[in-house]
Structure 1
Amino acid sequence: MEITVDARGLSCPQPVLLVAKEIEKGVFPIIVKVDGATACENIRRFALTRKLKVSITESGDESIITIQKE
């Protein structure tokens, strides 16, 4: 079962807070949709500090971040 977080249009720190809430639940993978480079980078760094695997796919001005356990 995967979780999808749509953080498009939100400014920091809201995207990171939404992702943190989902990480606490422990259900992976978590798919995060963002539309800003800052949000994308902040989520990536946040997940890496928690020893999670992060992959990013860019499509136009949107990014899809996949967060999984190592």
Structure 2
Amino acid sequence: MVKIDARGISCPQPVLMTKNALINNPIEVEITVDNATAKNNVERYMRQSGYSVSSKNIEDDFILYGKK
């Protein structure tokens, strides 16, 4: 599983980090962000890239799980 910590980073950087991680076509990806805009943008990008996405909110963070 590829894990990305994009907390404290504003868009579009979390999406670009996700894009770079998906180059190797991992089966599972976990991305942590700390704002709703980044959550929505990363989630949309992962779905467009063929991943099913689920998320959970832990305190001020959003953890996105992508799976092929």
TM bin, normalised by shorter chain, reads over 0.9
* 1:68 CA displacement: 0.8
TM-score (norm 1): 0.92
The percent of aligned pairs where both chains have the same amino acid is 34
Give, as a single letter, the amino acid of the residue that structure 1 aligns with 2:23: E
Alignment of 1:18-37 (within 5 A): 18-37=17-36
How many equivalent pairs are there?
Answer: 68
What do you get for the CA RMSD once the two structures are aligned? Answer: 0.8
Q: Which runs of 4+ in 1 moved over 4 A?
A: none
Equivalent residue of 1:25, what SS? coil
Equivalence map 1:1-70=2 (5 Å)? 2-69=1-68
Unpaired runs of at least 5, structure 1: none
